[in-house]
Amino acid sequence: MSRGRKYPGLVYSLILIMVLAACNMPAPGSQPRADAPATTQTAQAVDAILQTQFAPTFTPQQPTQPVAQASITPGEIVPPPAQAATLTPTATTTPEIEFCSDKATFVKDITVEDGTIFSPGASFTKTWRLRNVGECIWTPQYKLVFVGGQPMNAPNEIPFTGYVNPNETVDLSITMTAPAANGAYQGEWMIRSADDQLFGIGSQADKAFWVKITVGEVSGDLNLGSPTWSDTFKNSSNWYLLDTSNTRFTVKNGQLIMEAFNPGKAEEWGLATHSAIKDFTLEATFKTGGQCSGKDRYGVLVRAPDPNKGVVFGFSCDGRYRLYKWDGANYTAIQEWKSAGQIVSGPNQTNRLSIQAVGSTLKLYANGKLLGEYSDATYQKGRFGLFIGSADTANLVVMVEDIAYWLHGE
């Protein structure tokens, strides 16, 4: 083994000392930095030698997810790319508050149509049917509120009693009192939301819905004296008693009991055995059974030239009346269903129905109060009968407690 190879460490040490000494010699014309310690300069020289003479060869691992796509070569200083990725701090987002819109549309008057006549001081219940055509759910925090016109002794606001989802309907009712003075009156109403915003009907949900009535002196009891004819149903001798698949008439306990078994069927009537009459006033007292609602109905047929023709006048269980004529095949309205505060609505209620027919003039009454006056000369003379019809109630029952008529000019 040669000697030179026996002391390689000594040779390298000498070289290192010489290099270090050279590094510490000031360059011509240069001055040593006053702030650079000798130990630091020596360490830098040693590091340079080690980097050039003894640097191992290796390939650095690329980061799994590099910040910027750049090629790195060992041993060179790589400046950051010009398009270095910009780290954008995550913004703290404020949760969006979801707003919904409130809007209603008028469907129909359930009770008290515009222009209904009331006596001064009469009490009545107005019911509107509205549809929720907005986006919000109407909750019990919503209120029906008076906004203008004549309040008619009603409270200024009434809370809702339940929830109404979008596209659902609701019946809103309020009890009122007709003013003491005669005249036409109107009260306007809207809805107040849970956050105290008023809304109503119309394209912008800014229109009120209303109640319109007429206050006037209406006829009281007809004071006709003793009737020409009457029946208190001690027996069934004055009647043809119906007994069909849908309707049955029976006489029991001083009443004529009318039953309609199936909802949605046409009304059916039974005639009295009495002969035809011409000009008259006819009255009948009806009492509804334990179930009676909506367009469940009852009343009289008059001036019937045969059993399948005549003029029909009746009340509904929701407090309306209707007058029409039937020619055996065709229905012709003289007065379509109209709300009347004079009619007592609902089950277990008693109403006295009256019709006066003199010539072509027909006057209608409920409980002795005038409902309206009409003209029709189709039928001038005929027989009379009683009818019942069910719209909503299976096994509808209505009792007739008495019936009478007074002849005029005969």
144 domain residue, yes or no? yes
- Helix, strand, coil share (%) of the chain residues, nearest 5: 10, 40, 50
Angle at 117 between CA 115 and CA 123, to 5 degrees: 115
Q: Pairing state of beta strands 209-215 and 116-118?
A: parallel
Can you tell me the distance from the alpha carbon of 110 to that of 245, in angstroms, rounded to the nearest whole number?
31
Note the pLDDT of residue 122: 84
Question: Domain with 302 in it: what CATH number?
Answer: 2.60.120.560
10 domain residue, yes or no? no
The answer to whether residues 270 and 401 belong to one domain is yes
Instruction: Tell me the C-alpha to C-alpha distance, in Å, between residue 162 and each of 99, 125, 210.
Output: 21, 19, 22
Q: Which two tokens stand for residue 281?
A: 């006033």
pLDDT of 76 strictly over 60 = no
* HSE of 239, CA atoms in CB hemisphere, 13 A: 27
Which of 400, 372, 369 is closest to 299 using CA atoms? Answer: 400
pTM of the complete model beyond 0.75: no
The answer to whether residues 235 and 204 belong to one domain is no
Q: Which two tokens stand for residue 339?
A: 């709300």
Domain range for 127: 104-215
The answer to whether residues 249 and 352 belong to one domain is yes
The answer to whether residues 296 and 387 belong to one domain is yes
Q: Which two tokens stand for residue 308?
A: 């399948």
Contact 309, 380 (CB under 8 A): no
**3-state SS class at 382:** strand
Which of 210, 12, 197 is closest to 102 using CA atoms? Answer: 197
* Number of structural domains found in the chain: 2
List pLDDT tens digits, range 303-324.
Answer: 999 999 999 999 999 999 999 9
The answer to whether residues 158 and 271 belong to one domain is no
Q: How many CB atoms lie within 10 A of CB 366?
A: 20
Note the pLDDT of residue 222: 65
Q: Predicted confidence band at 96 (pLDDT cuts at 50, 70, 90)?
A: low
The answer to whether residues 175 and 299 belong to one domain is no
Q: Give the residue from 175, 190, 215 where a domain finishes.
A: 215
